[in-house]
Amino acid sequence: MTPVALDALLASLHHLLVFSLVAVLFAELVLTGAAPDAGRLRQLGKLDGAYGMLSMSVVVAGFVRAVYGAKGWSYYAGNEMFWAKISVFVIVGLLSAVPTVQLIRWRKRGVVPDAAAMRSLRRWMLGEAALIALIPVLAVLMARGIGY
Ligand code: HEM
């Protein structure tokens, strides 16, 4: 595979995973908008599992892209926007741990939460959605060499 083809492949994979991650987060936001029944809670658990897998895949695909993409690792290693982007993504990951743990607890105890409990879970997800919106901006700056 030529370096350009590899770069295009990694870029496509990165975008596909990122779009899927954001889509799953918004699906979770929709499902947490009302008091759930057991079926909805199960669905939410599945979506949250998919969100976790997609997050890991974004990290792997992102770093593979940073190392093997056209610009090479040295381009990103010294770029503040790159590290700002990673830091925001880590914070989003930490925020997402709270609803994940809560959903697992509810499932294990067979609890179906009320609307207030669901609203507090949703606030964490809204925080994630707000922060995730910053990441493409940082990515655009990083890709254009701003941040050295
Ligand atoms: C650990 C996680 C991530 C890593 C290591 C990573 C790494 C990268 C790399 C190496 C590029 C190539 C930039 C260039 O052309 O020089 C890129 C581009 C991009 N990334 Fe990520 N990324 C990560 C997560 C994310 C997330 C979560 C989002 C969005 C929510 C995102 C959005 C973008 C966008 C929009 C671009 C294209 C920027 C442009 O070409 O203008 N990335 N990323």
Q: Indicate the number of domains in the chain.
A: 1
Is 30 part of a structural domain of the chain?
yes
Which pTM was predicted?
A: 0.93
Residues 12, 140: Cα–Cα separation, whole Å: 16
Query: What are the pocket residues of ligand 1 if the criterion is a CB atom closer than 6 Å to any ligand atom?
Result: 14, 18, 58-59, 62-63, 65-66, 69, 71, 76, 86, 89, 132, 135-136, 139-140, 142-143
What is the domain extent for residue 11?
3-143
Is 26 part of a structural domain of the chain?
yes
Residue 42 makes CB contacts below 8 A (sequence gap 6+) with 107
- 85, 137, 144: residue to mutate for ligand 1 pocket, most atoms within 8 A of CB: 85
pLDDT digits (tens, 9 = 90+) for 5-14: 999 999 999 9
Is 104 part of a structural domain of the chain?
yes
Q: What is the mean pLDDT of residues 38-59?
A: 96
